[in-house]
């Protein structure tokens, strides 16, 4: 299969793979890369050499993804690794994240930019706690598409009953969650069944292979083209004769569609104006939509700076200093109630006070924990904050760009938590 030819008009799918080493995740990724001819000969030669030197029986495909010395030495994946491959119609960015509970933060990081999640299950074990955790995070971060890969089918005699049982169990579990689209695929990553090529061992399975599914998932509905949101990133004032009076607002469209002539409102001032032009290096545009990076000019001179937001008067985001969040805590230092933290939300930076920890989530059972509100590394919790300046935001489910923020330590500058606005 000549798979590396790629069309310029191809689109882009970002996905995450969840599962632990035991599920055969590395093998699955290795298989996907190998069968799409993404692994190069020198990479293969390198890992063959290393596997041999370590006295391993098979070529260890995990060595491909474990990039850091510590990871290879300990045989674990510590950090999110990004992999790239392409088919003629689609380019793929895969975030490979470690599966254990102590790496929840890595999974949240990988999931924050993904449109799709592959959740891996060992056919011998079925739906376990870890599956529930991965699926919960997927749903929390509003990944609209899940592919449940039931792996190691070769070890259960390629049994249709086993596949159906796992499928039913999973459907029961996700009925409590809000997930738009799930596909179920029985695979053997080790032998390549249903990864890129159809399995001859499972004639009862009539669905598509993993790669076919990845190539054909419909992505059109994942972006918001309704609520016009343009956080101002940078004010462009060229100091040149030709553009002496040019005053442009550079940023990325985070929702909706903007056109020259549209009436717009600027937050927080509330002033209204009209879009004069939408400028790019390649010439002016007749419209701009997510995720384009453009520069807008308005017909009126208004004081606008970084952190302001251009919206439409008839469709405004919520504006408030009081915000309710689900957070994933990402640092060894626990959350301290009553302490001030720095927040970054769109292009806006402010401080906030954690007013209340409402509950913590047991991410394996989805139960609320209300008697222990200490929030530490990898905990997921619902909190209420008050910010020093108003934020302009939407419900995360409506717009993940205007519905997300991060908390930062004001002394060490480290990123402490990911926040999802409810």
For another protein, which stretch binds (CB under 8 A), given 17-25, 188-196, 281-289, 359-367? 281-289
Among the residue ranges 77-85, 143-151, 161-169, 353-361, the one whose residues contact another protein (CB under 8 A): 77-85
Q: Residue 222 to residues 120, 145, 214, 219, 291: CA-CA distances in angstroms?
A: 23, 10, 15, 6, 11
Choose, by CB under 8 A, the member of 52, 70, 101, 422 that binds another protein. Answer: 70
Per CB under 8 A, the list member of 129, 157, 181, 225 interacting with another protein is 225
Q: Which is nearer to another protein, 40 or 204 (CB)?
A: 40
Applying CB under 8 A, among 165, 167, 252, 351 the residue interacting with another protein is 252
Q: In the range 373-412, which residues lie near another protein by CB under 8 A? A: 400-401, 404-406, 408
* CB of residue 176 to another protein, shortest distance in Å: 25
Binding segment toward another protein, per CB under 8 A, in 142-150, 183-191, 285-293, 361-369: 285-293
DSSP secondary structure letters along 345-396: ETTEEEEEEEEEEEEEE-TTT--EE-S-----TT-EEEEEEEEEEEEEE--T
The reply to whether 27 sits near another protein by the rule CB under 8 A is: no
Site string for another protein, 185-224 (x = CB under 8 A): -----------------------------------x--x-
Q: Using the rule CB under 8 A, give the single segment among 19-27, 200-208, 312-320, 338-346 that binds another protein.
A: 338-346
The structure tokens listed for 263 are: 């009436």
158: phi > 0 → left, psi -120 to 50 → alpha, else beta; which? left
Among 26, 27, 112, 151, binds another protein (CB under 8 A): 112
Torsion angle, alpha carbons of 181, 62, 107, 158, to 10: 30
Output the six-digit token pair for 400: 């993940």
The CA distance from 255 to 95, in Å, is: 24
Task: Identify whether the C-beta of residue 221 lies closer than 8 Å to the C-beta of residue 155.
Answer: no
Compute how many residues bind another protein; rule: CB under 8 A. 83
Residue corresponding to tokens 């970002």: 14
Nearer to another protein, 69 or 175 (CB): 69
User: Collapsing DSSP states into helix, strand and coil, what is residue 186?
Assistant: strand
Q: At what angle do helices 129-140 and 160-174 cross, to 10 degrees?
A: 50
Select 265 or 420, whichever has its Cβ closest to another protein. Answer: 420
Instruction: By CB under 8 A, name the one of 21, 59, 78, 177 that touches another protein.
Output: 78
User: Closest Cα to residue 61, out of 46, 74, 73?
Assistant: 46
User: How many CA atoms lie within 13 Å of 86's alpha carbon, on the beta-carbon side?
Assistant: 13
The least CB distance from residue 196 to another protein, in Å, is 17
* Residues 311-330 interacting with another protein (rule: CB under 8 A): 330
Interface of this chain with another protein, residues 36 to 55, rule: CB under 8 A: 40-43, 46, 50
């Amino acid at each position: 299969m000549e798979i590396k030819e790629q069309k310029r008009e191809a689109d882009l799918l970002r996905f995450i793979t969840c599962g632990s080493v035991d599920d055969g995740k590395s093998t699955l990724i290795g298989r996907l890369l190998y069968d799409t001819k993404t692994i190069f000969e020198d990479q293969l030669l390198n890992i063959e050499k290393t596997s041999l030197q370590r006295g391993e029986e098979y070529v260890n495909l995990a060595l491909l993804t474990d990039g850091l010395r510590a990871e290879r030495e300990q045989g674990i994946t510590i950090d999110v690794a990004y992999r790239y491959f392409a088919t003629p119609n689609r380019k793929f960015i895969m975030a490979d994240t470690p599966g254990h509970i102590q790496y929840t933060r890595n999974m949240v990081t990988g999931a924050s930019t993904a449109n799709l999640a592959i959740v891996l299950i060992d056919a011998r074990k079925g739906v376990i706690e870890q599956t529930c955790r991965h699926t919960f995070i997927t749903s929390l971060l509003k990944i609209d598409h899940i592919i449940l890969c039931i792996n190691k089918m070769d070890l259960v005699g390629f049994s249709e009953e086993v596949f159906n049982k796992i499928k039913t169990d999973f459907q029961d579990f996700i009925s409590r969650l809000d997930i738009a689209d799930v596909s179920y695929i029985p695979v053997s990553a080790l032998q390549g069944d249903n990864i890129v090529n159809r399995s001859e061992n499972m004639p009862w399975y009539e669905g598509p292979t993993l790669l076919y599914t990845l190539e054909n998932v419909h992505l059109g509905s994942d972006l918001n083209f309704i609520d016009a949101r343009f956080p101002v990133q940078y004010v462009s004032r060229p100091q040149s004769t030709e553009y002496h009076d040019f005053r442009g607002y550079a940023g990325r469209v985070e929702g909706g569609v903007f056109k020259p002539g549209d009436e717009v409102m600027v937050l927080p001032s509330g002033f209204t104006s009209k879009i004069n032009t939408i400028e790019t290096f390649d010439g002016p545009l007749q419209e701009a939509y997510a995720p384009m990076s453009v520069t807008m000019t308005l017909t009126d001179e208004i004081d606008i700076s970084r952190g302001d937001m251009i919206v439409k008067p008839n469709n405004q985001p919520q504006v408030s200093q009081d915000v309710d969040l689900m957070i994933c805590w990402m640092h060894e230092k626990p959350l301290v109630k009553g302490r001030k933290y720095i927040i970054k939300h769109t292009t806006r930076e402010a401080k906030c006070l954690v007013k209340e920890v409402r509950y913590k989530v047991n991410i394996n059972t989805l139960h609320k924990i209300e008697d222990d509100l200490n929030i530490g590394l990898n905990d997921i919790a619902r909190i209420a904050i008050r910010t020093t300046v108003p934020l302009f935001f939407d419900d995360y489910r409506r717009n993940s760009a205007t519905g997300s923020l991060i908390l930062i330590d004001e002394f060490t500058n480290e990123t402490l938590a990911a926040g999802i606005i409810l």
